[in-house]
Structure 1
Amino acid sequence: MSKKRISKEKSIRHAKTTTEVIISLVLLGTCGFFAKSAFTDVTKVEQSSFYDNKDIASTDTTATTPPDPNQIIYETRLVESKSKFYGDLILINRDHEYFSSHNEDLVSIYKMNLENNCTCFTTVDETYSILKQVYVPMVNMIQDFYDQTNNDTLNIIGSYRTNDFQRQLYENDLENTGKDDSDRVAPPGCSEHESGLAFDFSETVNNDYDGTGDFKIINDNCYKYGFIVRYTKDKESITKFRDEPWHFRYVGIPHAYYMHSKNLCLEEYIDLIREHPYDGEHLEFSYDTSEYEVYFVPSDDGAENTSVPVPNGVRYDISGNNVDGFIVTVYKGQKPLVDEVPTKSFEEAPELTSASEEEEAQEIYEENE
């Protein structure tokens, strides 16, 4: 091979190598340029003005919010729609008759007094009866009155009445007065006595009770035991009954307190509660050391049962209003009562104490469970 040919091949290889080096340098420079540009662009990106101007807290998906121990959880309870005609808060008057279940849980006042050695008041005879849940607060009220005054002249002359007996009283009054209607005796079906929730006082000295003198203590403080003076002079236009300071009606402590404190008759109170439905603002108030919450649930009259929201794990009562629905009373902070308590037999009931609150009376039954 000639020397001239070797030089030519060497020259070609040198040119090829030089070209490859130049291409590599160009590629390397280009990559470096883009890398630098990309880095420069990243570092120059500014934070969003929305992020800067808004106070947005970061969300920790692993964090849990502790439950509010004071929050009441509600659940649904099915209640017979016809139960709106029964309960401690039913309204009974000339416009809303009482529909008897013919299964009232009654006790003889006379026999109960004998069994419990209660001598601070009397009743006409053993036929005078009252609802079982009313007897204990009634006796507690009278016992406390006696402890303060040493006055044992109280006499119960009116308690539970059958519809037939109420009719007889009404017709006798019409015959005596010659009127077409009576403002002294309720027509049959319109008397609270037919429910077993009411009683009338008299006294054995003058055979009269006007709520004055010693007895003013009872009329002024009956709410503490769950009773109201049902018919007062200033509410005659609403109740449509004359003033009867001797007629007491059981409604339960929280409701008696609220009506007393606001000077409301039962008609006014039923209307007020209707303004506080479950899905609206509830009626909330406190008395002594207890807090209460009350709300209204309309009855589903087109169905056999009505869905009534009730608190879970908290004491509550459901009462019909004898008009258009149910009244739920929540006893905040109190545990539910044992279902058997309200229907506890009195056959083995201990001697009654002078407790001044319904809750203390309830303890009498719980001790015997």
Structure 2
Amino acid sequence: MSKNKKISKEKSIRRAKTMTEIVISLALLGAGGFFVRNAMKDAATVQTSPYFDDKDIAVTDADSTTVPDPNQMIFESKTVDTKDKFRGDLILVNEDHEYFSGDEDLVSIIEMNEENERTCFSAVDSTYTILRQVYEPMARMIQDFSDQYDNDRLIIYGSYRTKDFQQQLYDDDVANSEDGKSTKVAKPGFSEHESGLAFDFTEADNYDYDGTGDYAWLNANCYKYGFIVRYTKAKEKITKIEDEPWHFRYVGVPHAYYMDANDLCLEEYIDLVRQHPYDGEHLEFKDDKDVEYEVYFVKSDDGSDKTTVPVPNGVRYEISGNNVDGFIVTVYKNQKPLVEVAPTKSFEDVSELTTDEDEESEENVSDVDTDETEE
């Protein structure tokens, strides 16, 4: 075989081999494309699983250390009359802070006793009155005392007084003093008795009350009913009134408890609460029944008729003026707001109502003429 023919044959073999490799490669590429196309087609027709929750999932920041407090109170704004800082169970009435009287909701002590069939105590006569909200805790305290000691000799010897009657008592005490001053009777307009929040005890045996013997129970336990012994010998320099173990003042259970537990008079307590403003650290404590309270102060907006007071949402609270410069908010933690439920009426009852209902008016109670000389 010639050399040229040999070379030509070798080229032919190489050319056939190359063509075969190209054909095989094209076949492989075609098959790959076919499978990819079918896979895409099948993927497009897959339905969403019925168990898939199509919602955004919050991503937790691994570096975050802030945990929301589920017990944290939410506060909202409440608008009150600025002049109401002169009203409430916690008003401070003393020689520096006058009581601005008016619209007291007073009840006769004797008439209330008769209505509630209470015989464990009495008052001098039916003209002796007290604020309506004070009567019930006062009566419960005396009833508990009477049940324990079988004693029904207590008499309310001093309660609400008009400014004119307070003037009479003050003038009489000054006339009988050696230096022309009174340390037993507050100046007219500056007595707690004018607010209806205070009362004095005496007893039917000696017409005297010093808070000793069986009666020591009342002075020691009055805080449980919302009362404090307002004037004690230890606090004379602050109150400017001599020791009066017979003089009780209503302030409400949380505050009476705190003052008793910490040996504070009302002047000291009002100053303490003022150091706990809403936007600062609140005064928080438990009473001896493990009821939790939170107390804070809101300064009154004296340049406006209205003051905005922050109050907790969905939690029981009370607002009282302090008769000085603002409002004290008392929060009953973990307690729902008190709701007064109106009595329901049937359709027949409602249909019988008329628009000509008579309006009842309360009669003013006349001044009491007695020989009282206490504050």
TM-score higher than 0.5: yes
SS in 1 for 2:209: coil
Residue in structure 1 matched with residue 181 of structure 2 by the alignment: 181
State the distance in 2 between where 1:262 and 1:61 align. 49
SS in 2 for 1:336: coil
Residue in structure 2 matched with residue 327 of structure 1 by the alignment: 328
2:129 equivalent to 1:132: no
Residue in structure 2 matched with residue 235 of structure 1 by the alignment: 235
Change in CA separation of 1:339 and 1:271 when aligned onto 2, cut-off 3 Å: farther
- Residue deviations 1:93-126 (CA, integer Å, cap 9, x gap): 00001001x2101100010001111000111000
One-letter amino acid of the counterpart of residue 322, structure 2: N
State the distance in 2 between where 1:323 and 1:339 align. 31
State the distance in 1 between where 2:148 and 2:258 align. 25
One-letter amino acid of the counterpart of residue 320, structure 2: S
- Residue deviations 1:174-203 (CA, integer Å, cap 9, x gap): 122254320011110110000000000000
2:58 equivalent to 1:61: yes
Query: Which range moved further: 197-206 or 174-183?
Result: 174-183
Size of the alignment, in residue pairs? 283
Residue in structure 1 matched with residue 215 of structure 2 by the alignment: 215
State the distance in 2 between where 1:237 and 1:304 align. 36
- Distance apart, 1:62 and its partner CA: 5.3
Residue in structure 2 matched with residue 109 of structure 1 by the alignment: 109
- Distance apart, 1:69 and its partner CA: 3.2
Residue in structure 1 matched with residue 161 of structure 2 by the alignment: 161
SS in 1 for 2:207: coil
Change in CA separation of 1:243 and 1:340 when aligned onto 2, cut-off 3 Å: farther
One-letter amino acid of the counterpart of residue 61, structure 1: A
Residue in structure 2 matched with residue 308 of structure 1 by the alignment: 309
Residue pairs, 1:25-36, within 5 angstroms: none
Residue in structure 2 matched with residue 226 of structure 1 by the alignment: 226
State the distance in 2 between where 1:230 and 1:339 align. 32
- Residue deviations 1:229-258 (CA, integer Å, cap 9, x gap): 000000000000000000000000000000
SS in 2 for 1:306: strand
Residue in structure 2 matched with residue 269 of structure 1 by the alignment: 269
One-letter amino acid of the counterpart of residue 246, structure 2: W
State the distance in 1 between where 2:178 and 2:209 align. 26
State the distance in 2 between where 1:337 and 1:224 align. 20
State the distance in 2 between where 1:274 and 1:310 align. 16
SS in 1 for 2:107: strand
- Residue deviations 1:115-148 (CA, integer Å, cap 9, x gap): 1110001110000000000000000000000010
State the distance in 2 between where 1:174 and 1:165 align. 14
Change in CA separation of 1:267 and 1:340 when aligned onto 2, cut-off 3 Å: farther
Unmatched 5+ stretches in structure 1:
1-59, 342-369
One-letter amino acid of the counterpart of residue 308, structure 1: V
- Distance apart, 1:337 and its partner CA: 1.1
Which is richer in helix?
1
State the distance in 1 between where 2:60 and 2:331 align. 33
Residue in structure 1 matched with residue 54 of structure 2 by the alignment: none
- Residue deviations 1:274-315 (CA, integer Å, cap 9, x gap): 110000000000011310000000000001111100000000
Residue in structure 2 matched with residue 336 of structure 1 by the alignment: 337
Residue in structure 2 matched with residue 143 of structure 1 by the alignment: 143
State the distance in 2 between where 1:123 and 1:83 align. 31
- Distance apart, 1:338 and its partner CA: 2.2
State the distance in 2 between where 1:269 and 1:151 align. 33
State the distance in 2 between where 1:191 and 1:222 align. 21
State the distance in 1 between where 2:110 and 2:68 align. 52
State the distance in 2 between where 1:172 and 1:338 align. 47
State the distance in 1 between where 2:90 and 2:326 align. 11
One-letter amino acid of the counterpart of residue 94, structure 1: E
TM-score (norm 2): 0.73
Residue in structure 2 matched with residue 20 of structure 1 by the alignment: none
State the distance in 2 between where 1:121 and 1:78 align. 41
Change in CA separation of 1:276 and 1:339 when aligned onto 2, cut-off 3 Å: farther
TM-score (norm 1): 0.74
Residue in structure 2 matched with residue 278 of structure 1 by the alignment: 278
- Distance apart, 1:68 and its partner CA: 3.8
One-letter amino acid of the counterpart of residue 170, structure 2: Y
State the distance in 2 between where 1:304 and 1:152 align. 48
Query: Which range moved further: 66-75 or 202-211?
Result: 66-75
The alignment's C-alpha RMSD in Å is: 2.0
Residue in structure 1 matched with residue 31 of structure 2 by the alignment: none
Change in CA separation of 1:164 and 1:90 when aligned onto 2, cut-off 3 Å: same
